[in-house]
Structure 1
Amino acid sequence: MDSSNLFPVGYSDGDVDTNRSGNPTFASIVGERYSRRQTLFGGVAALTMATVSTGLLAACDDGNGNSDVTVDAGEDAQTSAGRVVVLSGTTDGDPDSAEWEQVSGPKVTLTNADSATASFIAPSVEESTPLVFRFSAADARGREVSDESTVTVTPARLGFDAVSKSLEDKVIVPAGYSVTVLYRLGDPIKGGVPAYANNGGDSGFDDRAGDHHDALFYYGLSASGDRDDANSNRGLLVMNHENITQDFLHPNGPTPAPRPESEALKEMEAHGVSVVEVTRDAAGGWSYVQGSALNRRVTPLTETELRGPAAGSDQMRTRFSPDGTRGRGTINNCANGYTPWGTNLTCEENWAFYFRRDEGDDAARTPAEATALGRYGVRAGNGGNFAWTTVQPADRSSTAYSRWNATADPEAADATGDFRNEPNQFGWVVEIDPYDPSKAPRKRTALGRLGHEGCWPGLFSDGARPAFYMGDDGRGEYIYKFVSAAAWSAGDARADDRLAIGDKYLDRGTLYVARFNADGTGDWLPLIFGRGPLTPGNASYPFRDQADVLIHARLAADALGATRMDRPEWSATNPVTGEIYFTLTNNSASGRPLNGTDAANPRHYNDPTTDGEDQRGNPNGHILRLKEANDSGEATRFAWDVYAFGAGADLDSGNVNLSALDASNDFSSPDGLWFSRATNAAGKVNPLLWIQTDDGAYTDVSNCMMLAAQPGRLGDGGPVTITNVGADGAMAAQSTIVGAAPGTNLRRFLVGPKGCEITGIDSTPDGRALFVNIQHPGDDGNGHWPATQTDSGATSRPRSATIVITKDDDGVVGL
Structure 2
Amino acid sequence: MTDLHSTNYSDGDVDTNASVLPTLNELANARFSRRQTMMRTAGATAMAFFGTSLLAACGDDDNEAPTVTAGADGSTSSGRLVTLTATASDDNAVSTAAWTQTAGETVKLVAGADNAVSFIAPSVAASTVLTFEFKATDDDGKSSTATTNITVAPAQLGFTAVAKNRNDIVTVPEGYTVTVMTRLGDPLATGVSAYANDGTDSGFDQRIGDHGDALAWFGLDASGSRADGSSTRGLLVQNHENITQAYLHAAGASLSAPRALADALKEIECHGLSVSEYKDAGNRAWSYVQGSTFNRRITPNTDMVFHGPAAGTAYLATPYSTNGSHGRGTINNCANGHTGWASVLTCEENWAGYFLRSGDDAQRSARELTALSRYGVTSSTGNYSWSTASTTDNRFTRWDARATVGGTATTDFRNEPNQFGWVVEIDPYDPASAPRKRTALGRFGHEGAWLGKLTAGKKVAVYMGDDSRREYLYKFVSTAAWDAADATAANRLAVGDKYLDAGTLYVAVFNADGTGTWKPLVFGSVPDRPAVGSFPAYTFADQADILVNTRLAADAVGATPMDRPEWTAVNPVTGEVYLTLTNNDASNRPLGGTDAANPRHYGDPKLDGSISYGNPNGHIIRLREDGDDTAAATFKWDIYLFGADSADSSPMNVNISGLTADNDFSSPDGCWFSRPSNAAGKVKPLLWIQTDDGAFTDRTNCMMLAALPGTVSDGGTKTITNVGTSGSATQATIVGTAATAANLRRFLTGPVQCEITGVDSTPDGRTLFVGIQHPGEEGNPAAITSHWPESQTSTTATSRPRSAVVAITKNDGGVVAL
- Give the TM bin, normalised by the shorter chain: over 0.9
1:346 match:
346
Describe how 1:314-353 pairs up with structure 2 within 5 A: 314-353=314-353
Q: Which AA in structure 1 matches 2:603?
A: N
2-side partners of 1:507 and 1:131: how far apart?
A: 48
Match of 2:24 in 1: none
Asked if structure 2 preserves the Cα contact closer than 8 Å seen for 1:273 and 1:298, the reply is: yes
Aligned equivalent of 1:689 = 687
Give the partner amino acid of 1:384: G
Query: Does the 8 A contact of 1:517 with 1:599 survive in 2?
Result: yes
Residue in structure 2 matched with residue 116 of structure 1 by the alignment? 115
Contact kept in structure 2, 1:99 and 1:114, CA below 8 Å: no
- 1:84 maps to which of 75, 81, 85: 81
What's the CA shift for 1:48?
Answer: 6.2
Q: 1:568 aligns with which of 565, 569, 572?
A: 565
3-state SS, counterpart of residue 266 of structure 1: helix
- Kindly state the Cα deviation for residue 411 of structure 1 after the two structures are TM-superposed: 3.3
- Is this contact kept in 2: 1:568–1:584, CA < 8 A? yes
1-side partners of 2:390 and 2:794: how far apart?
Answer: 43
Asked whether the equivalents of residues 772 and 804 of structure 1 are also in contact (C-alpha less than 8 Å), the reply is: yes
1:695-753 CA deviation, whole Å, 9 max, x = no partner? 0000000000000000111111111111101113x110100011110211100000000
8 A Cα contact 2:234 2:278, kept in partner: yes
Aligned to 1:191: 190
Larger Rg, first or second structure (1 or 2): 1
For the Cα contact (< 8 Å) 1:353–1:385, is it kept in 2?
yes
- Tell me what 1:447 maps to: 441
1:373 maps onto 2:372 in alignment: yes
Paired letter, 2:293:
A
Find the aligned partners of 1:232 and 1:49 in 2 and give their Cα distance.
28
Mark the CA change 1:52 to 1:139 in structure 2 (over 3 Å): closer, same or farther.
Answer: farther
Contact 1:49 1:84 in 2 (8 A): no
Q: Which runs of 5+ in 2 are unaligned?
A: 1-36, 780-784
CA distance change for structure 1 residues 435 and 171 in 2, over 3 Å: closer, same or farther? same
SS state at 1:211 partner: coil
Question: Structure 2: how far apart are the matches of 1:560 and 1:282?
Answer: 55
Aligned positions of 1:123-522 closer than 5 A? 123-255=122-254, 256-359=256-359, 361-379=360-378, 381-392=379-390, 396=392, 398-412=393-407, 414-522=408-516
Please show how residues 13-24 of structure 1 align to structure 2 within 5 Å: none
* Structure 2 Cα separation of the partners of residues 699 and 463 of structure 1: 47
Decide whether aligned partners of structure 1 residues 537 and 56 sit closer, same or farther in structure 2, where only a CA change above 3 A counts: closer
CA distance in 2, matches of 1:231, 1:96: 35
The residue correspondences of 1:45-56 to structure 2 (distance < 5 A) are 47=44, 54-56=51-53
Equivalent position amino acid for 1:78 in 2:
S
- Taking the aligned partners of 2:127 and 2:711, their CA distance within structure 1 comes to 21
Aligned position for 1:15: none
Query: Are 1:54 and 1:74, in contact at CA under 8 Å, matched by a contact in 2?
Result: yes
DSSP-derived class of the 2:373 partner:
helix
1:595-644 deviations in Å (ceiling 9; x for gaps): 00000000000111111111110000000000000000100100000000
The aligned amino acid for 1:482 is F
- TM-superposed deviation, 1:292: 0.5
C-alpha offsets along residues 276-300 of structure 1, whole Å, 9 cap, x if unaligned? 1101112320011111101000000
Opposite residue 524 of structure 2, the aligned amino acid is: G
**1:767 aligned to 756, 765, 778, which one?**
765
State how far apart, in whole Å, the 2-side matches of 1:544 and 1:62 are.
Answer: 95
The reply to whether residue 754 of structure 1 matches residue 752 of structure 2 is yes
Partner amino acid for 1:280? D
Cα 1:97–1:51 change in 2 (3 A) is farther
Give the match for residue 676 of structure 1.
Answer: 674
- 1:704 pairs with 699, 702, 705, which one? 702
Q: For 1:775-794, what aligned pairs fall within 5 Å after superposition? A: 775-781=773-779, 782-794=785-797
Higher alpha-carbon deviation: 132-141 or 441-450: 132-141
Count of residues paired in the alignment: 771
Deviation at 1:63, TM superposition (A): 7.6
Matching residue's letter, 1:286: W
* Contact 1:784–1:797 (Cα < 8 Å) also in 2: yes
Query: Normalization by structure 2: what TM-score?
Result: 0.92
- Partner SS for 1:390: helix
Structure 1 residue matching 2:346: 3-state secondary structure:
strand
- In 1, Cα distance between the equivalents of 2:210 and 2:518? 37
Q: Distance in 2 between matches of 1:403 and 1:732?
A: 49
Task: Report the more deviating stretch, 476-485 or 128-137.
Answer: 128-137
- Deviation string for 1:492-512 (max 9, x for gaps)? 111111101111110010000
Q: Which moved more, 1:680-689 or 1:381-390?
A: 381-390
- Give the counterpart of 2:592 among 588, 592, 595: 595
Q: Is the 8 A contact 1:569 1:582 kept in 2?
A: yes
1:354-376 deviation line (CA, Å, top 9, x unaligned): 000132x1121000000000000
- Alpha-carbon distance change, 318 to 206 in structure 1, aligned in 2, over 3 angstroms: same
Paired residue secondary structure (2:174):
coil
Q: Does structure 2 conserve the Cα–Cα contact (< 8 Å) formed by 1:100 and 1:113?
A: no
Shift of 1:66: 4.2
Q: What SS does the corresponding residue of 1:466 show, helix, strand or coil?
A: strand
Q: How far did residue 139 of structure 1 move?
A: 2.3
| SS class of match (1:371) | helix
One-letter amino acid of the structure 1 residue matched with residue 343 of structure 2: T
Give CA-to-partner distance per residue, 1:50-96, whole Å, 9 cap, x none: 76663222311468854263001111100000000000112334533
Residue by residue over 1:390-411, the C-alpha shift from the partner in whole angstroms, topping out at 9 and shown as x without a partner, is: 1127xx4x31000011100113
Distance 1:62 1:143, change over 3 A: farther
2:6 aligned partner:
none
**CA, structure 1 residues 253+537, in 2 after alignment: closer, same or farther (shift >3 Å)?**
closer
Q: Which shifted more, 364-373 or 275-284?
A: 275-284
Check conservation: 1:60, 1:66, Cα contact below 8 A.
no
CA–CA distance in structure 1, aligned partners of residues 412 and 247 of structure 2: 33
In 2, distance between residues paired with 1:733 and 1:362? 44
Amino acid corresponding to residue 151 of structure 1 in structure 2: I
How far apart are the structure 2 equivalents of 1:114 and 1:498?
Answer: 43
Q: Deviations over 1:170-195 (max 9, x none)?
A: 00000111100011000001011111
- 1:731 maps to a residue whose letter is S
For residues 451-498 of structure 1, the C-alpha deviation after alignment (integer angstroms, 9 at most, x for no partner) is 001000000111111101000000000000000011111111111111
8 Å Cα contact 1:275/1:295 also seen in 2: yes
Residues of 2 paired with 1:52 and 1:141: CA distance? 34
What is the distance in 1 between the residues matched to 2:380 and 2:673?
Answer: 39
CA distance in 1, matches of 2:231, 2:137: 35
Amino acid at match of 2:563: D
Structure 2 CA distance for aligned equivalents of residues 89 and 54 of structure 1: 12
| Cα pair 2:529 2:556 within 8 Å, conserved | no
Q: CA deviation at 1:207?
A: 0.5
2-structure distance, mates of 1:590, 1:210: 35
Residue 532 of structure 1: CA displacement? 4.0
Q: Which has the higher contact order (CA 8 A, sep 6+)?
A: 2
The worse-fitting range, judged by mean Cα deviation, of 58-67 and 533-542 is: 533-542
TM-score normalized with structure 1 length:
0.92
- Deviation at 1:138? 2.3
